């Protein structure tokens, strides 16, 4: 059975990882800042669905295959890189189009397409972002086995540990969404929206390039 000390150590590691600003933070903040609360929670739950999947995959040893097979890891890495660069580029391109229609920017910011604001679209975006990130799988494969005691059921214990990561992620995501909603009025101004999108798009696309060039 996993000890309280091991749980505390794992919580500290994934807690620091959760608090570190990165791709997930940018995605959640941007979605929440646009006023799409349902979509923002869709993104959050999609990300956590991916976290759960990676935890289970690691417990089953599937991510060991990705670690051992250079081809499998490379294919997943490039799929994730292409998706992230595509998503980041779309966000950046939207700032150019919005700048060209500056006279309609205020109306454009206030009337985001319904499809972009749905829970389902947010969940898909969050899940794909997480599942196509091989670095999450590599992290779980490297860290998770260290906290599973000898003789303990791997899948059950691994899922428990992933559940702790998910809980911390949900709590922090709630803080991010609340913060974005407080600043919603400011962040939805056309100039602020363009700045937010440029930062978010650059972070997401840049992360995709980093994944592509990573070892």
- Could you report the per-residue pLDDT of 120-145, keeping only the tens digit for each? 999 999 999 999 887 787 788 778 87
pLDDT at 107: 45
pLDDT at 105: 44
pLDDT at 162: 92
Name which of 55, 50, 51, 180 is nearest 124 in CA terms. Answer: 50
Which positions of the chain have pLDDT values less than 50? 103-115
pLDDT at 114: 39
pLDDT at 20: 82
Say what the pTM is.
Answer: 0.77
């Amino acid at each position: 059975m996993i000890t309280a000390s091991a749980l505390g150590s794992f919580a500290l590691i994934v807690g620091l990882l959760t608090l570190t600003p990165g791709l997930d933070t940018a995605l959640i903040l941007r979605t929440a800042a646009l006023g799409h609360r349902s979509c923002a929670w869709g993104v959050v739950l999609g990300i956590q669905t991916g976290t759960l999947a990676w935890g289970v995959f690691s417990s089953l040893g599937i991510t060991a295959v990705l670690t051992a097979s250079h081809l499998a890891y490379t294919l997943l890495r490039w799929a994730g890189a292409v998706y992230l660069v595509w998503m980041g580029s779309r966000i950046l391109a939207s700032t150019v189009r919005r700048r060209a229609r500056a006279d309609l920017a205020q109306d454009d910011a206030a009337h985001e397409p319904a499809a972009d604001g749905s829970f389902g679209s947010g969940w898909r975006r969050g899940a794909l972002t997480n599942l196509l990130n091989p670095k999450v799988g590599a992290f779980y494969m490297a860290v998770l086995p260290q906290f599973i005691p000898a003789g303990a059921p791997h899948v059950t214990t691994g899922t428990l540990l992933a559940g702790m990561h998910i809980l911390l992620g949900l709590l922090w995501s709630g803080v991010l969404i609340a913060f974005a909603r407080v600043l919603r009025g400011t962040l939805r101004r056309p100039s602020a929206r363009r700045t937010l999108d440029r930062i978010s798009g650059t972070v997401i696309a840049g992360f995709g390039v980093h994944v592509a060039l990573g070892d």
